[in-house]
Structure formats: structure tokens, C-alpha cells
Amino acid sequence: MAVVFAAIMGLLCVFCVCFALWTGYHFLNRLDEIARQDDITEQTRAILKDVLLTQSGASESRPHPAPLTNSAKEDNGSMHSIALLAPLIPEGSHLLDFGCGNMYTAIQLLGIKPNLTITGLDIIRDQNLTDEILSDNRLRFQLSSTKEIPAADNSFDGAIALATLHHTPDPEYFLSELVRV
């Protein structure tokens, strides 16, 4: 009995050592990935700083479209998403912003990437989406339901839909529509 117990304990120790080596190996292999995540965090901070300086008027490095109303100035939780998205969007792209609300996200993206054209779609026109904001020729707004996006196939270079998916009656169909346009 003691021999069987010793054999089981020996196998358990071998397993633990192998698992520890495997875990350490995979951790070391992920160091580059972890470093890249830190770089992304630094890039995000730099972009956010630039956006905030531009909004405050302290920096003239990037043009900002029409001034925002007070309610639109309040961050709706999308600033981090905007900072992560911006470097991935090629200059000169035409984007669809589905569920755009007051077009806060679009305005912030234009502050970072001034050569974009953004079409916003929503089921209602937000009261803060003023004619002054829409006078910027880089912004367009269109009323639309969540059923079908009123655009031809491949009309846009990309699409964003921040905080929108949970409002759609058929998320799978909605995502297929975003891919279609």
C-alpha cells in the first residue's frame, strides 16, 4: 500500500512540475503580447490627451467640427473605444455610425481623424443633434430603423455601432446588415 501511495505521490509531483514549467513557458511567450497591450494603453492615453486638448482649445493640432452642447460634452463611455478605434481607421474612410444618437462618437473621431466622412443612422433625431453640428460637410444624419440599413452593399469603408446591439430585435441580422453595407 505504501508503495502505491508513493508512486501516486511521485506522479502527482511530476505532473505539478510539468504544469509549472508549461505555465511558465506560456507566460514567457506572452511577454511580447503583454508589452504590446501596454503600448496600446499608452497610445490610448496619448489619443485621449490630444482629444481633450483639442476640445478645450488648448491645442490647434487637429480641427474640431462644430462645438458640442453641454450634454454632448459628457462622456458616454465611448472615449476609450474611440481611442482604440481611431488608429485602425484609414484616412479618408467613409464610416457608418449606427445608433449615432447625438453623433458624439462621430464628432470625436473627426477630432482625431479629420479626413473621415461619417454617416450617422438612428431611429430618432437626438435633440442635441443641431443643424450647426450637421453643417460640417463630413457629417451626415439619416433616420433609420434597426430592420434594414438604407444603403447599397459595400457603401461604407467601415461601420461602428457602440452601445447599440442590445437594442436590436435580431442581433444576428443586424450584424449581417453592418457587414453588408
- For residue 26, CA distances in Å to 19, 20, 37, 129 come to 11, 10, 16, 50
CATH number at residue 102: 3.40.50.150
115 plus 26 within the same structural domain: no
Domain containing residue 151:
66-180
109 plus 146 within the same structural domain: yes
Q: Which residues pair with 95 in a beta bridge?
A: 118, 158
71 plus 146 within the same structural domain: yes
Q: Indicate the number of domains in the chain.
A: 2
Q: Which residues of the chain have pLDDT under 70?
A: 1-77, 146
What is the pLDDT, as a whole number, of residue 135?
Answer: 86
19 plus 96 within the same structural domain: no
In this prediction the pTM is: 0.58
132 plus 74 within the same structural domain: yes
Domain-ending residue, one of 61, 91, 112: 61
pLDDT digits (tens, 9 = 90+) for 56-73: 555 444 444 444 443 444
